[in-house]
Amino acid sequence: MRSNILTTATGFLLPLLLLFSVFLLLRGHNEPGGGFVGGLAAASAFSLHAITHGVRPTRAVLRVQPRLLMGIGLWVAILSGLPALLLDLPYLTGQWAGWKIPSIGKLGTPLFFDIGVYLAVLGMVMTIVFELVED
C-alpha cells in the first residue's frame, strides 16, 4: 500500500528528525539524551523512509552500510577511553579540552563516546529494519 500523504510527509520529516537526533546527541553528555536516544531518533527517521520508499532508496540516502556504521561506532566508543589510560587514569574517565564550543560546551571524551554509541545504535537498528522491510 502506497500513501501519497505519508510519502510526501516523509520528505519533510526525514531532515527534521535527523536534526532532532543530532540535538539529542549533543545535549546528552550534560542532560538527558545522548548517543543511544539520538541514534534511535535517527534510526526512526530512516525507518520511516524505508517503509514509505523501500530499502534501496533508503540505502542510497543513508550512503553507508549499516554494518559499517556499527563497526565505526564501536571503534569510536572504544577509542574514546584511551586518553584516560594514557594519563594513568581508569579506562573511560572523562577528559575535556580547555576551550568551549558555543551551544555544545567543552569538547571531551564523553562526547566522542556518545558519538560512537550513536553510530552503533543507528547501524544496528537499520540492519534490523532493512532485513524486516526487505522480507
- In the chain, which stretches have pLDDT less than 50? none
What's residue 81's pLDDT?
93
What's residue 23's pLDDT?
92
Distance of CA 26 to the CA centre of its chain: 11
What's residue 87's pLDDT?
93
At 53, which amino acid appears?
Answer: H
Q: Strand ranges (DSSP E) for the chain?
A: 96-101, 105-108
The CA radius of gyration of the chain, in Å to the nearest whole number, is 17
What's residue 107's pLDDT?
85
